[in-house]
Amino acid sequence: MKINPDKCVACGNCTYVCPMGAIYIDPVIRRATINRNECVECYACFNGLSQEHLNPTFVRTVRKLFQMARMRFDPEPDVCPTAAFEPENLEWPRVVRRAFSDPRVPHESTGVHGRGTEEVKTNDVSGRVGTGEAGFTIEFGRPGVGVWFRDIQKMCWALARAGVAFEKKNPVTSLMSDAATGTIRQDILDEKVLSAIVEIKVPVERVEEVIRLVREMEKQIDTVVALGVGARCDEKGEDNVVAPILEKLGYNLERAKTNIGLGRVSNAA
Amino acid sequence: MTNTLHRFGSAESFRDDYVVFAIASKGRNDEGALEKLRRFLRIAVDFQPVNLGDAMHGGALRPSKEMNPGAHWKRDVAPDFDAVVAGLDAPTTVAAVFDNRVAAEDFVQAVKEAELGLSVNISTSIEGAEQCCFAAGIPRHSVGYSLGFEGATAKLPEAKVLMLSTMCGHGMVSHGLAKKMIDWVKEGRRTPQQAAGYMTRFCSCGVFNPARAARLLEQAARGESE
């Protein structure tokens, strides 16, 4: 993403809406500027801000007059008054940032808009997580911190050493040069994304072991991790297998997504 | 939809937050899914959702690429549900957000009766989803639990900011904007509803809950904790 300095009026609205806090007003040029190292190409600025197409010279003059009179101009906070944001043509490997950070860009590996796969939300037709299994979503960088692929790789290496297999139809797995060892392509390790999800499935007997491993590795990576665990319910709609393990590990289960089982396979064979 | 799973807050704080979403599975029931997804959204409108959206085009309150400067004085904050339904042009995840359990229960019942054949999920407190299933006479098929945030949590902002920003799990509602909106409501520069509207427009799939956001903003401005 670029900010056109001829259009920017340094209103500062965009500095608040950037999820990475990567936009600031450069005091030298007096224009909004993007820290390209921290920018994850999520397009929240371009897609989320409403755009006016006001004359930049006019807006700067008005702002200057208000400033001189020590008056506060109070415009809407979600607007770029001069439509100064200009998307740029991203090339490899930087394009990976956008693929993982802009939710409107589908991943070629999954076809799903977002960072993961269908996981348990289509479990009623996919049968991905069966009885006696637990599906993990290990999400890095969320919320609002971001993650470098080199940090994701540390976790993947540890999971692979433990003999855990990665979900094949997952964007992170598709970027591994060796899924057996959890090694991610060398050329993207220094790319930062808003978040990325590693997906694995293990027998319920290994839930505790995996969680303890993840917790241990979290100490070695410089970001936040959001853990999700999916389980198949019994015929009465109860889960008396995975939830007790999680509670035993000290988790206070507050929120979940519940697949209510209305899906049916209907495509022609 | 992991982007609705990890909302920050206690189970009690989700009393006005019920996200019900439908998705077709690629290669299994995606043929002819578009009309079924539209029908899901149309059914939802009857139960007065607080937001409605799809993962490709956004929610019922969207940013404008050609905003009239007059909007600074008279901003339209009414959700446009018809635009969401009409704008759906390819199979994707669609969602309806409700601010009360009764509406969510009635909607789930209606979706069950419609026999769409799509996978339907409820994202809320575990107990809230169980109640919806019980009311509709549906046993839960699968559950995806949120275990919350771990690791370098010192990098996260305070709870009242997180409760707002995590309502867009894709991270399009920044902590910075959430903090700014709390401050603006506190200063009386905007109403909680107006501030919630600004944040809602950044959510790119329509799962942000403006009703819960307005409540949280009001509480935060008063210095009350959840």
What residue spans define the domains of chain A?
A: 2-88, 106-248
Which of B1, B153, B202 lies at the smallest CB-CB distance from A44? B202
Amino acid at B184: W
Calpha distance B147→B168 (Å, rounded)? 17
Backbone angles phi, psi at B119, to 5 degrees: -75, 130
Kindly state the tokens that stand for B100.
């009360």
Among A71-75, B80-84, B219-223, the minimum mean pLDDT is found in: A71-75
* Collapsed DSSP state (helix, strand, coil) of residue A35: coil
Query: What residue in A sits closest to B143 (Cα-Cα)?
Result: A258
| pLDDT recorded at residue A182 | 98
By Cβ distance, the residue of A52, A214, A254 closest to B69 is A52
What is the three-class DSSP state of A28?
coil
B174 with A103: Cβ contact below 8 A: no
Of A118, A246, A260, the CB nearest to B147: A246
Tens of pLDDT along B135-192?
999 999 999 999 999 999 999 999 999 999 999 989 999 999 999 999 999 999 999 9
- Token readout for A72 is 């506060």
- Residue ranges making up the domain that contains B7: 2-221
Residue B72: per-residue pLDDT:
86
Domain count, chain B: 1
Task: Please state the rounded mean pLDDT for residues B106-111.
Answer: 98
Q: From chain B, pick out residues whose CB is under 8 angstroms from the CB of A229.
A: 144-145, 147
Q: Does B125 touch chain A if contact means CB atoms closer than 8 Å?
A: yes
Residue numbers in A near B34 (CB within 8 A): none
For testing the chain A interface, which of B142, B175, B185, B212 should be mutated: the one with the most A CBs within 10 Å? B142
CATH fold match for the domains A2-88 and A106-248 = no
Q: Taking CB atoms and an 8 Å limit, are B145 and A242 in contact across chains?
A: yes
pLDDT for residue B1 is more than 50: no
Closest-CA residue of chain A to B113:
A262
Cβ <8 Å between A266 and B28: yes
Q: Which two tokens stand for residue A35?
A: 């820290």
Chain B residue numbers with beta carbons less than 8 Å from the beta carbon of A118 are 23, 25-26, 119
Inter-axis angle of helices B192-202 and B175-187, nearest 10: 160
Neighbours of A77 (CB within 10 A): 21
In this structure, what token pair is assigned to residue B177? 């904007």
Record the pTM. Answer: 0.96
The total of other beta-carbon atoms located within 10 Å of residue B82's CB is: 13
CB-CB neighbors (< 8 A) of B11 in chain A: 254-255
Residue B84 lies in a domain: yes
Helix, strand, or coil (residue A196): strand
Contact state of B202 with A120 under an 8 Å Cβ cutoff = no
Interface test with B, best of A262, A264, A265, A267 (most B CBs within 10 A): A262
Please, which pLDDT band fits residue B74 given cuts at 50, 70 and 90?
A: confident
Chain B touched by A153 (CB under 8 Å): no
Identity of residue B173: V
A-chain residues near B161 (CB < 8 A) = none
Task: Decide if A187 touches B, using CB distance below 8 A.
Answer: no
CA gyration radius for chain A?
Answer: 23
Task: Please give the ipTM for the structure prediction.
Answer: 0.96
Kindly report the CATH class assigned to A106-248: alpha beta
* Record: contact B149-A222, CB cut-off 8 A: no
Asked if the structure places residue B73 within a domain, the reply is yes
Q: Do A256 and B4 touch (CB under 8 A)?
A: no
Q: One-letter amino acid identity for B23?
A: I
Phi then psi dihedrals of residue B118, to 5 deg: -90, 155
Instruction: Give the minimum alpha-carbon distance from A49 to chain B in angstroms, rounded to a whole number.
Output: 6
Looking at domain A2-88, does it have CATH number 3.30.1490.20?
no
CB contacts of A223 in chain B (<8 Å) are: 151-152, 155
- Whether B226 is in a domain gets the answer no
CA distances from B148 to A226, A248, B64 (A): 6, 16, 34
CB atoms A255 and B204 under 8 Å = no
pLDDT for residue A108: 64
A8 touches chain B (CB under 8 A): no
Q: Is residue B110 part of a domain?
A: yes
Q: What average pLDDT score do residues B108-135 get?
A: 98
Do the bridges between strand A79-80 and strand A50-51 make them parallel or antiparallel, or are there none, so unpaired? parallel
Q: DSSP character for A141?
A: S
pLDDT in tens, chain A (269 residues): 999 999 999 999 999 999 999 999 999 999 999 999 999 999 999 999 999 999 999 999 999 999 899 987 788 999 999 999 999 999 999 999 999 999 988 766 555 555 666 778 999 999 999 999 999 999 999 999 999 999 999 999 999 999 999 999 899 999 999 999 999 999 999 999 999 999 999 999 999 999 999 999 999 999 999 999 999 999 999 999 999 999 999 999 999 999 999 999 999 87
3-class secondary structure per residue, A64-121: HHHHHCCCCCCCCCCEECCCCEECCCCCCCCHHHHHHHCCCCECCCCCCECCCCCHHH
Which conformational region is residue A141 in: left (phi greater than 0), alpha (psi within -120 to 50 degrees), or beta?
A: left
- CB < 8 Å from B in window 50-89 of A: 50-54, 74-79, 83
According to DSSP, residue B65 is labeled: S
Element (H, E) at B211: helix B210-222
- Whether A153 and A242 have beta carbons less than 8 Å apart is answered as no
Domain membership of residue B80 (yes or no) is yes
B55 touches chain A (CB under 8 A): yes
The answer to whether B151 contacts A223, with C-beta atoms less than 8 Å apart, is yes
